[in-house]
Amino acid sequence: MRRRDFVALIGAVGSWPIGAWGQRNNKIPRVGVLWHAGSAKEEGTYFRALLEGLNALGYIDGETISFEHRFPNEVPDRFLSLAAELAALKVDVLPWHTSTALACARRASVAEGRPDLATGAGLAADYVSG
């Protein structure tokens, strides 16, 4: 190998990590979860299933994903205020799993100017049937 080729090779290899670092997206996704019970303990298996399922996909709470959990304790007024709180926190997605949470999440996300924020298991059914 000629010296010129060797220097070019070292230069290319040495600059590659810098270019790769420039392409990284360091933003950790924020998920605002609007539960229906009063605590994580009351949500039990659903709460654990969410965290374990995302862990299995490589999302680790606090490292590669960030959760904002809110527990309205099945009080209708609290659903709306906590949904508004999550929307104001600029979470990336606001999943739900009850019709009350859906209505409040949609209302809060529209009020924040982000009508596409509320999503969840029931949303696909809305699009299919509607």
- For the chain, the farthest-separated pair of C-alpha atoms sits apart, in whole angstroms, at 76
Residue 96 in contact with residue 118, Cβ under 8 Å? yes
Taking the alpha carbons at both ends of the chain, their separation in whole angstroms is 67
Render pLDDT for 21-51 as a digit per residue (tens, 0 to 9). 555 567 888 988 888 899 989 988 888 888 8
Kindly state the percentage of the chain with pLDDT values over 90. 20
pLDDT over 70 (residue 127): no
**What pLDDT, on a 0 to 100 scale, did the predictor assign at position 66?**
92
Count of residues making up the chain: 130
For residue 100, is pLDDT > 90?
no
Per-residue model confidence (pLDDT) at position 71:
92
19-34 burial string, b = 16+ CB within 10 Å, else e? eeeeeeeeeeebbbbb
Q: Which of 92, 95, 78, 94 is nearest to 39 (CA)?
A: 78
Structure tokens at 34: 């609007």
The reply to whether the predicted model has a pTM over 0.85 is no
Residue with tokens 């205020």: 81
Q: Considering the domain 30-129, what is its CATH architecture?
A: 3-Layer(aba) Sandwich (3.40)
**pLDDT of 106-117, one tens digit each?**
888 777 777 666
Instruction: Determine the pLDDT at residue 126.
Output: 39
